[in-house]
Amino acid sequence: MAEMHALRYAIPVAYTGAELLARQHRGEFGLWPHNRAVNMGRVDQIARSMEETQDPWYLGPVPVYVAYVENRGYILDGQHRLAALAKVDDPGLFRLFLGRIYARQADELHREFERINCGSPVPESYWNRKFSDVLDQFFAGLRREYPTAESRSARPRRPRYNPAAVALVLNEKGSLREAVRANRLSGENLTAAALRENSIAQALYEGREDFPQQCLLNASVTGFFLGLDRVWPERVVQAALSAGIEDEGNG
């Protein structure tokens, strides 16, 4: 079953540049933290062209997109046009459309940002941040389920793990990055896969006499049997990707 779209859209409305700048200055909206930084060279170029043409509709029909989560607004697209308006002598001369998007939570803005920017390359820094956020969610899930399994040691004893060391391994998984980029996999998906694999590992290792007994004792104490396998991060990734493929086939 397709996921129901939780975003709502308002018909774009035309405002003068002065009106939009006043809204921005009042704090109605600001730049979304994951958006591109404003390129002032590009801003100056736009502002110079606006001053030369004095065409009220120079900025064209493409709206400035602002997404609202509760009472906070975030500029998803159009930050350079707004910055250029602030540099011209009479921003009230120019008109442009404001497209409002309403979301229930901030996480929904990622997919909308990608959709709006589908015709232009999204900065690699955005994808790196998105991937890092997924890993943070994953480790938060592990911490919640197995609070004593996490270690800050550079060489933790099995089954304990160092999140930074595991993150280095996961960062090299191109298939994982691609799945995150395509919105097919989240931190919650990785946590769910780890829970399933941990149950399998518990059945496999528990009671074995041919395995280091101190490691088994540690696993019993932490509840994290998955960490007895040195390549457990790869197992979790494969399980999560396989589950995603099955979900797509059943959708």
Domain locations along the chain: 8-116, 124-250
pLDDT at residue 16, rounded to an integer: 95
* Residue pointed to by tokens 């002065």: 18
Residue 243 has pLDDT above 60, yes or no: yes
What H or E segment, with its residue span, contains residue 112?
Answer: helix 109-116
Residue 70's pLDDT is 82
Q: What is the DSSP letter of 207?
A: T
Strand 72-77, strand 29-31: pairing: parallel
Buried b (16+ CB within 10 A) or exposed e, 138-161: bbebbeeebeebbbeeeebebbbb
H or E element at residue 204 = helix 187-205
pLDDT at 5 exceeding the cut of 80: no
d(CA 42, CA 119): 19
70 C-beta neighbours (distance < 10 Å), count: 10
Q: CATH classification of 8-116 is 1.10.3470, yes or no?
A: no
Q: What is the pLDDT of residue 64?
A: 92
Q: Single out the residue of 69, 144, 142, 82 nearest to residue 108, CA to CA.
A: 69
The mean pLDDT value for 130-142 works out to: 94
Give the pLDDT confidence score for residue 6 in this predicted structure. Answer: 62
Phi-psi group of 70: left, alpha or beta (phi > 0 → left; psi -120 to 50 → alpha; rest → beta) = left
pLDDT band per the 50, 70, 90 thresholds, residue 128: confident
Reported pTM: 0.58
Answer yes or no: is pLDDT of 119 > 70: no
Mean pLDDT on 137-157: 95
- Tell me the sheet residues that pair with 13: 98
